[in-house]
Each structure stands twice: as structure tokens, then as C-alpha cells.
Structure 1
Amino acid sequence: MTRFVFIAILAASLLTAWWSRGGRRHDEIHDYFVASRQFGGLLLFFLAAGETYSLGVLTAFPGGVYLHGTSFCIWFTAYVVLAFPVGYFLAPMIWNAARRYDPVTVSDLFCRHFRSRTLEILVSLVAIVFMIPWGVMQFMGLTMVLQGLGFTLPSWVLMTVAAILAYSYTAISGIRAPAYVSVIKDTLLLAAIVVVGLAIFRLPHGYQTMLQGLDDPVFTGRDIRVMITNTLFQASGLFLFPAAIASFFTARNPQAIRRAMIAMPLYMTMFVFLMLTAFYARGAFGSGLSPNHIFIDTARHLLSPWLIGVVAGGAALSGLVVLASTCLVIGPLLTHNLLKGLSERHQKRGAQFISVIYLIASMLGATWAASIAATMNNLSYFGLTQLLPGVLIIGLDLSVPASGVIAGLITGVTIPTVLFLGGIDTNGINPGLIGLAFNAAIVTAVSLRSRHGLAQTPR
């Protein structure tokens, strides 16, 4: 029954992707990558949520609560909640800039605002390098979740099927497919999490077991610095990931984005039930479980086979939507920004070819380079959040020399990368926040110097 429900959900997702075509011409690059900027608030809500709530919801969050208790709940939920008001103001600014410059990628925004081919190349490289781990982590998460739910096929078989499905979404109708499939994914994911949480209270001693897993956190000064700086930095960067920015390009108008951001915190409902599940696991199973398997192991312990199939379907679609969306970002960054002069038809075909290469590379990474992928996953925020000063300048339509943004971006990416990989102690301060401060300072200094020079120029 578990496998039947799971396969039915995947089949329904493919039918939904095909239905999303709607008789449109998907050979046009703007329709394929940004849906001709016609998404309303509802579709944008699901597409943006699909990028925000992925497999990490089922693995990293309950695993972190299982290991670290209440302190992890506080900073993790705080940064997600704070990200929504940031997105409420930042995302419409990005949309207005997109209306001015008609971009396909985030690199187009930088190139056309600052009139700099160098900046276009730099932003493309930063985006590609720091987005690669997401694909690897999705394959790792898909394999882990499905095997944890009792699917005994070899990991390469599971990953190959996942790659074929993710590519099928993008090939069928471009960005529209992940958006429409996200509706199924989010519904199933929320239902699965709530069902597991409610199942705990149906047990004779479920409530008492959950209370046994609660802890009384004691915070040191370092703990407080970690929580505050992590919250501020990651809240600033959550909607700067290239796939998130690309989702804003699809909106019909800025009001659609604001409506989506207002409704987005409703997803935080699932975090309550995930916390309950993690605390129940601490009380029921002690410290003997793998943190990343906490939700899955608890689901198998509490649910009937057909409900486990629903959990598996929601989990699989969570990873597949992210993989498909990432393909639709990395592809045009290479064929549209780094390789100039291609026709629209060749850009689309080239992006689809790059998607296949990217999926294969991610599968290999998930198989042989798990430790490297995990490290790069930590670095993703360090790199991509450094786009913030440039995005703010573009959104506010300010005049700043491209040289300042280039220097700031290089410095901002380098500092946290060196600090993190070098194991240098920052006394609890997020290394990315340190890099962002230097980034902003350099951009500001170059801008002020440029304006001062203009003021001194004889007329």
C-alpha cells in the first residue's frame, strides 16, 4: 500500500506538470524561465514556498531539535519568521527592477543596472558555485527519506528516478511545472507533518512522553550571539537565493508578491508539529536515533502504511521541486549569461542539456562527496547573501560604480569562506555577517568617493 500511494502521487505530479502547459508556447525563453511574468499571488505563494520549505523541513529541523533542544527551535524559527517581512519589502523592489530591465536571471539585473559585463560574470559564477550543493543535498535527502520509509532499492536507482522526474518537470513546461507541482507538494507535506503530530496525542502516554523530551535551555553569552547573528544573517539571505529571485520575476505585479509574503507565515504551522515530533522522539527513543531520520522513524512508528506513502510522496516532491527549480536557474546562468550570443532556441536547449549535466553531477556528489556537499551547504548562505548590497542598490535604483559592487562582493564572499574553512573562531558571530559588513562598507566607501570626485570636477 505504501508503494502504491507513493507511485500514485508521483504520477499525479507528472500529470499536473503536463496540465500546467495550458497550450502556451514554451519555446519562448521568457515563458519557459519566468512564465511571461504572469503568476498571480496563489501560484507565486506555492512557488516561493517550494523554494523555502524543502527536504530540510523533514530532516534538518527536527534533527536539530532532537540534538539541541529548545535553543535550536528559537533561532531557526526566528530567522524564518523574520525573513518574511524582509521579503515583503525586498521582493517587490526586485520585481520593479525586473520590470525596468526585463531579466531572465539575477545576473541580468546586475549587468543591466551597473552596465558591467564583469559584474554579470561574477554574479553568475557566485550563484552557480553556491547553488551546486542544493542539488547534492536534495539527492542525499531523497535517498535518506525514501530508504528510511522502507524503499529498499539501491540509492543510485532512487536518484536516477528522481533525476528523470525533475528533468521531466522542466522539459514539459519550464518554471510553470514546479509552481503547479508545488501545490500538491505543499498540501501533502503539511498534511503529513500534522498527521504525525496529531498521532502522538492519540497514544495513551504520547503527551507525557513528549514532555519528557523537553529541556530547560541555559544560554551563555556566546549562545546568544550565535542565535542573534545567525537569525539576522540568514533572514537577510533567505530570499536572495537565485531560485527565489527568479520566482519573483514570475509575478504579475508587486501586489501578488506582497499577498504571498503575508500568507507565507501560515506555513510555520508545520514547525509546531515538527517540534512536537522531535520532542516526542527524544522522550520515546532517547539518543539512539540518527538525527536526520527523526521524523521518518517516528512516522513509521505511528502511521499506517498508506499514510506512510503520503509522507513519502510529500517528501519526494519536496526534493524534486527544488531540483527542478535549481535546474531552471543554473541552466540560463550558463547559456544566457556566461555564453553570450546564443539564440533563444539554443539558450533553451543548452539550458536543458546543462540541467542533465547538473543532475548527474549532483547524483555523483551525493554518492561520493557527502562530506564536501555538507560543507558547501553551510557555505551557501555565506556566498549568496552577499548579493544583498547590490540587490538593494538595484531595487532602489541608485547610481553606484560597478567597481564598488565587484570589490564588495569578492570581499564579502572571501571573508566568511576563509573563516569557515579555516576553522577560525569568530566568538559566536556568524562569519557571513562579518563578510556582509565588509561588503557593505566597501560599496558605501566607493560610492561616497565617486560622488566626492564628481563634486570636485570643474564644470
Structure 2
Amino acid sequence: MILALTLAVVFATMAGAILSARRQAKARTLTEWAVGGRKFGVLIFWFLNAGEIYTTFAVLGISGFAWAHGAPAYLALTSVSLSAALGYWLMPLIWNAGRRYGLVTQADFFAAHYQATWLGVVVGLAGIAALIVYVQIQIVALSLIVRMTLGTDVSITMAAIIAAVVMLSFVYFAGLRSAAFAAGVKDVLMVVIVITLCATVASKVGATSMLDVYALAQDSFPGIGRLPGLQPEAGLSTVWLMTSALNVALGNWILPHLFQLCFSAGSEATIRRNAIWQPLYSLSYFFILLLGFAALLAGTQPAGGDTNAVLLQFVADRYPAWAVGIFAGTACLLALVPGSVLLLTAGSIFSRNVLLPLRPGLSDRATLLASRLSMIAFATVAVWLTLGGSKSLVEIGLSAYAAIGMLAPGVYFAFIWKRAHAIGVFAGLVAGYLALLLPAAQALWGALLPGWEPGLIAMAINAAVAAAVSIAWPRPAARAVAPA
């Protein structure tokens, strides 16, 4: 029954998504495929954008993080609200630049604004690398669900391959429009399921109400509700929470798929309405944290102590098979929808900003084909990363935000500082990545700034070097995209 219901939820959504996209318009060009023809209204844009709140990172990752650490999982509440506040200002600027100059990808923006095709190539490659790490999150989660439904006889390798194949087939034919339809379905389903689980969870762990679950957790595990949480040795202090939340907020709209998503909106009002209401949507994390604490009270022990599988194991242990099947199917959509958008964005960047500068004579059809074929390669790399790592979804997510945060100074300078130029931005990128990735630098930050999110430190160094070089280096004369 579990397998049948899981497949029913997934395949019904996939069929509806593809049919919906085909009825509206067949993706014949890269622009139509990658940004939906720049026509998305409030509802579709809401589900694609605010729907980022309901991903495997959010539901499986944060609940598992709450189970393992307690209060540090409050990072989800703070970072989403900060991101929405910043997005209210930044997203319309990105949208205006995209509409005015026909931009499709984030790398397009860098190449056009800084009048440097080579910088677009560099940014494109950096963006693809960060996106592959983010795809890894979805494949990790989806492979867990595959093994739960098909059985542990399915190897981890085979489960990851199945996850990647399903994800590729989901987005391959219809592009962003298929993901938009599926995002609405999975959001509605997950809201209903999470509320239903929370309404019944108290009886599963011996509590009298949802609030009593929090009280029992505090009594049973003193310190769970305050920082540094259940594992003080992990260093998840107040400083860590503040710097990590700020790093996520500054880097959120710099993620290439969200940056590109801004181009798909039909109007500036659509974007601003989304930013106004998104913080309220993030209050649903209250329920996700609740489920993590309930799993801890229930004594849930996922195989191998895998924090990513905590919620799946808790539901499988405490709920009937039909509920497990529906939850597993919806959890599949949590991975498929964002994973598909991530792969689509990576493919768009590769064909348009890496391949096209080398082969400027490519037709739209050839460019679209190159985008689709490159997604297979990126999914393969994500599978390889999945098989070689064992981090929690939250840790992988923070790594992705740290990597993509290196592009943030170039974006913000484009809108607030006329003097910034391509050489300065590139120098900042080099300095930032060295500060983030060199073991000696990591040891230095740990000694000088204990508890700080390394990505935020590297972003600050990046911005400082970019500013210094832009001041010292002669400024180019013109701009293709005028700063706001």
C-alpha cells in the first residue's frame, strides 16, 4: 500500500504538470523553457517562490536538525523572514533588469552589467557548482524515500540513481511551467499533511496537546529550547544562529534558480506581494519543529542515526500504512520540484553562458538541447556527491549558501555602487573563495571568530577586496544595465 500510494501521488502530479504545461505553451525556446515566457502571475509565482519554504531541506532537514540539536533549528524561522524583507527591495530590481535587457540567467546579468562576457562565464560556472550541491540535498532526501518505499534491499547507489532519473524526467520536457504546477500541488498537500500530523502527534508521544509536546521535550531534554541546544560541543551558539541567518538571507536571492525565477514574474507587483506574505508562510516551521521534538520524545532512531531520515522513520513507526504512503509521495514532490528547478537553472546557465560564448552561432533549438543534455551530467555529479557524503541536509544547505554567497557582493554593488567593475568583482570572488575553502583560512576564522558562519566571513572579505580593487583600478566608461 505504501508503494502504491507513493507512486500514485508522484505520477498523478507529474502527469498533471506536463499536461498543464503543454496546454499553455510548448517550450520551443530557452526563454520559454527557463523563465516561463516572463508571464507568471501572483498565484504561480507564489507557489514557485514561497514554495521554496516547503522543500526537503525545510521539512526533513529542519525536523531532523530539531531532533538532533533542538533550538539551533530555529535558524529556519529567522532566515526566511530576513530573506523576505531583503527580497522586497532586491527582487524588483532584478526583475526590472531582466525585463529591460532580455536576461534569462544570473550570469547574463553579470555579463551585461559589468560588460564582460568572461565574467558571465566565471559566474556561470560558480553558480552551477553551487546548484549541484543544492541538487545533492534533493537527491539525498529522495533516495531515502525510495529506500523506505521499495525496501532496504535497494542499495544506496541504486536509490540515488532512481532519484536522479525521476527528477530529470520530471522537468526534461516541459520546463519551468511543469514545476510551477507541481509546486502548487506539493505545497497544498504538505500543508494539509503537516497540520494533520501535528493535530495527532500529541497522542503518539503521550502529550495532551501540541504545546504540551514542547513542554514535555523541555522537561525530558533540558536545554533543548535554548541555544546552544542539545549538543553544546557542536558550537551552535547565539553567534552561530545570527551569522548563519544573515548569511542565508544575503545569499538567498543570489541562488541562481531564485535569481532566475525573478525574471519569470509578470509584473513588479507580483514580486512585492510575494515578499509581503512570505514571512507569514514561514510560521509553518512551528509545526515542522514540533514534529522533530515529537520524534525525539517518541525515541525514534533512524537507521545509522541519519538525521535526514528522522521524520520519515517517525511517521513510518507511528502512523498507518496509508498515511505513510501519502506522506512519502508528498515528500517525493518536496525533492522533485526544487530539484527540477535547480537542474533547469544549471542547464540554462551552461548553454547560455558557458557554451554560447564559445559557439555564438548556435540556434535556439540547439541551445535548448544543450541545456537538457547538460542536466544529465549535473545530476550525475550530484549523485556522486550524495554517495560520497554523510552530512545532514541543513549542513549541506549551509555549504551551498556559503558557496553562492560569493556572488552576492557583485549583485549588491551592481544596484548600489556605480564604481564597481568586472575586475574588482572577479578579484573579490577569488579572495572570497580562498577565504572559504583554504584549510588554513578556516582554522584562522575558527580561532579569531569562534562560532561565526564561515560563509559570512568570506562574503565580507569578498566585498572588501572587490571594493578596494574597484577604487584602485580605472573604472570602465559605460554600463549595459544602469544601477537603480
Q: Do both proteins adopt the same fold according to a TM-score greater than 0.5, normalized to the shorter chain? A: yes
Determine whether 1:166 maps to 2:167.
yes
> Distance between the aligned counterparts of 2:291 and 2:130, measured in 1?
32
**Alpha-carbon distance in 1 for matches of 2:51, 2:314:** 24
Q: How far has the Cα of 1:399 moved from its partner?
A: 4.8
- C-alpha distance after superposition, 1:82-108 (max 9, x if no partner): 111111111111111112221121000
Matches within 5 A, 1:13-162: 13-18=13-18, 19-70=20-71, 72-148=72-148, 151-152=151-152, 154=154, 155-162=156-163
Task: Tell me how far 1:451 sits from its aligned partner.
Answer: 7.4
**Paired position in structure 1 for 2:352:** 336
Q: Which of 322, 329, 332 lines up with 1:306 in the alignment?
A: 322
Alignment size in residue pairs: 453
Within 5 Å, give how 1:37-436 maps onto structure 2: 37-70=38-71, 72-148=72-148, 151-152=151-152, 154=154, 155-203=156-204, 205-207=206-208, 210-214=214-218, 215-216=222-223, 217=226, 223-285=237-299, 290-340=306-356, 341=360, 342-370=362-390, 378-396=398-416, 398-418=418-438, 422-424=442-444, 425=446, 426-436=449-459
CA-CA distance at 1:384 after TM superposition: 0.6
Equivalent AA in structure 2 for residue 384 of structure 1: I
Q: Is the 8 Å Cα contact of residues 149 and 296 (structure 1) preserved in structure 2?
A: no
Bigger mean CA deviation after superposition, 9-18 or 118-127: 9-18
Q: Which amino acid letter does the alignment assign opposite residue 212 of structure 1? A: L
Aligned residue identity for 2:50 = A
Identity of aligned residues (%): 25
**Contact 1:51 1:243 (C-alpha < 8 Å) held by counterparts:** no
One-letter code of the match for 1:178?
A
Q: Secondary structure at the match of 1:205?
A: coil
Shift in Å at residue 172 of structure 1? 2.3
CA 1:450/1:280 → structure 2, altered by over 3 Å: closer, same or farther? same
Taking structure 1 as reference, are residues 241 and 26 closer, same or farther at Cα in structure 2, changes over 3 Å only?
same
For 2:482, the equivalent position in structure 1 comes to none
Displacement of 1:23 after TM fit? Answer: 4.5
Counterparts of 1:159 and 1:232 in 2: how far apart (Å)?
Answer: 32
The verdict on how the C-alpha distance between 1:25 and 1:67 changes in structure 2, with shifts beyond 3 A counting, is closer
Question: Hey, what's the Cα distance between the residues in 1 that align with 2:217 and 2:80?
Answer: 24
**Contact 2:193–2:327 (8 Å) recurs in 1:** yes
Q: Provide the rounded CA distance (Å) in 2 between the counterparts of 1:152 and 1:287.
A: 16
After the TM superposition, which of the residue ranges 149-158 and 33-42 deviates more from structure 2? Answer: 149-158
Query: C-alpha separation between the residues in 2 aligned to 1:193 and 1:376?
Result: 24
Q: 1:277 to 1:409 in 2, by over 3 A?
A: same
Distance 1:325 1:364, change over 3 A: same
Instruction: Kindly indicate whether the alpha-carbon contact (under 8 Å) linking 2:98 and 2:109 is maintained by their aligned counterparts in 1.
Output: yes
Q: Partner amino acid for 2:12?
A: A
Q: Which runs of 5+ in 2 are unaligned?
A: 478-484
TM-score normalized by the length of structure 2 = 0.86
Larger mean Cα displacement after TM superposition, 146-155 or 299-308: 146-155
> For the residues of structure 1 that align with 2:316 and 2:286, how far apart are their CA atoms?
19
Distance, in Å, in 1 between the alignment partners of 2:70 and 2:149 is 25
TM-score normalized by the length of structure 1? 0.90
Whole-Å separation in 1 of the counterparts to 2:337 and 2:94 = 23
Cα distance, 1:397–1:99 mapped onto 2, change above 3 Å:
farther
1:441: which partner in 2? 464
1-structure distance, mates of 2:289, 2:22: 38
Show the counterpart of 1:457.
none
Q: CA, structure 1 residues 278+373, in 2 after alignment: closer, same or farther (shift >3 Å)?
A: closer
Aligned residue for 2:400, secondary structure, equals helix
**Offset, 1:255:** 0.8
Equivalent residue letter for 1:59: L
Which is worse superposed, 333-342 or 391-400? 391-400
Distance 1:202 1:372 in 2: 28
Q: Residues 261-283 of structure 1, C-alpha deviation per residue, up to 9 Å, x if partnerless?
A: 22222332431112222222222
Q: Within 1, Cα distance between the matches of 2:307 and 2:205?
A: 25
CA RMSD of aligned residues (A): 2.8
Structure 1 range deviating more: 15-24 or 26-35? 15-24
Post-superposition Cα deviations, 1:397-449, rounded to whole Å, max 9, x if no partner, equal: 83522111111122122212225985441311221111111222223223334
